[in-house]
A and B are shown apart, each in its own frame.
Chain A
Amino acid sequence: GNSVTQMEGPVTLSEEAFLTINCTYTATGYPSLFWYVQYPGEGLQLLLKATKADDKGSNKGFEATYRKETTSFHLEKGSVQVSDSAVYFCALRPWGGYNKLIFGAGTRLAVHP
């Protein structure tokens, strides 16, 4: 079946540190991959996406590359800010999945000044 596994949090970093949040997936065919972000007290927002192998999604300084050979979609940012503190969800849309998303458990990021 389809599933998403994320690294457990919380991840605690100092401002300007490098961020990596690992995400691996299991899926048949050619899923689309997403990172969503949830700020405190809010709903989820799309951060970035990739629809085929070797695609790189990027937004607000965050990047993730769709690696089919390792079934991974790790989220990275070179220099985090306090305002990046949030919960990050990796998700996949199965091939032919009619817009249904399958989410990972989420990783909480806390950035300190």
Chain B
Amino acid sequence: DAGITQSPRYKITETGRQVTLMCHQTWSHSYMFWYRQDLGHGLRLIYYSAAADITDKGEVPDGYVVSRSKTENFPLTLESATRSQTSVYFCASSEPGQGVDEQFFGPGTRLTVL
């Protein structure tokens, strides 16, 4: 599929389990981002990546791990899920210098931690 996709779209897990959320984009964009969306907070940046093998922390990185071995993929791992990580997670990508500075968002993954 063209564009940016996320999987799974819905996930229920238990406290303490490891969970990986996948993000894939077909545009070869340099930048990729992970956000979480919570009521009253809008979207908050978890991690971002400027290129393959280059990642950096955002506003709320604790409890999350990312990697980017290939340009098109940017998985987000919750090493030991907690209830406070129940949220909707959005992946986004962008390519600086293309004039619009637009970030393109995936459809989101709704994660529930019991």
The interface of chain A, by Cβ under 8 A from chain B, is: 4, 6, 32, 34, 41-46, 49, 51, 89, 93, 98-106
Contacts and interface: CB of A to CB of B under 8 A. Distances in A.
Closest 7 CB pairs of A and B: A43-B105, A103-B42, A105-B42, A103-B43, A44-B105, A46-B102, A43-B107
A108 to B, nearest CB: 10
Contact size class for B? Answer: 20 to 34
Interface in B69-104: 90, 92, 94, 96, 100-103
A99 B100 contact: no
Contact of A106 (B42, B45, B92): B42
> Dominant SS at the B interface?
strand
Nearest to A106: B42
B41 to A, nearest CB: 6
A62 B27 CA distance: 28
Interface in B60-74: none
A11 to B, nearest CB: 16
Contacts of A99: 31, 48, 94, 96, 101, 103
Nearest to A104: B42
A42 B42 contact: no
B96 A42 contact: no
A43 B108 CA distance: 6
B50 interface: yes
